[in-house]
Amino acid sequence: MSYKITNFAKVYPTASPEVVSVLKQSERKMQNQRKLKFGKIYINNEEEEVRFIKSREDSLERLGENEVQFSIDTNVEEEAMRNLMIQNLREAMNQLNSEELELIYALFYQGYTEMKYAKKIGLSQKGVNKRKKKILDKLHKKIKV
């Protein structure tokens, strides 16, 4: 569905530029809300294909019928705190040196065991464990501050 923004300066020639600007913003907002509620249809004439892109808004009933799992009990405060903690962790991790980052990445993101990583870098498992604890303590201190 193609939608054209109205030329409010032509429709209301005596309106001030501020009023015209507000009308344009309002029109764009309504257009975006329509897109969210109804979705979009794309027609590709070359391939004779019609695609419907679903709306980003969805009904709770339809989601339930399709067994989509979601939490209704989302606590905004908990989500905000979680996001803040993640941001603090990222900032703290940015302060680690390359060896420390490599160890954390290998153990926590790549699924290496301490023993496997120790063999890879030529250390003992105990040495890797001590380094890991030292790094985690360092991160913990930076996050708490």
Instruction: Summarize the confidence of residues 113-135 as an average pLDDT.
Output: 95
With cut-offs at 50, 70 and 90, classify the pLDDT of residue 97.
very high
6 Cβ contact list (under 8 Å, min separation 6):
23, 27
Residue that wins the pLDDT comparison between 52 and 89: 89
With cut-offs at 50, 70 and 90, classify the pLDDT of residue 78.
confident
Name the DSSP class of 53: E
Per-residue pLDDT, 1: 45
**pTM of this prediction?**
0.47
Q: Where are the beta strands (DSSP E) in 6-126?
A: 40-44, 49-53
User: What CATH number matches the domain at 76-144, 1.10.10.10, 1.10.8.350, 3.90.1150.10, 3.40.50.720?
Assistant: 1.10.10.10
**Domain parsing of the chain, residue ranges:** 8-57, 76-144
With cut-offs at 50, 70 and 90, classify the pLDDT of residue 8.
confident
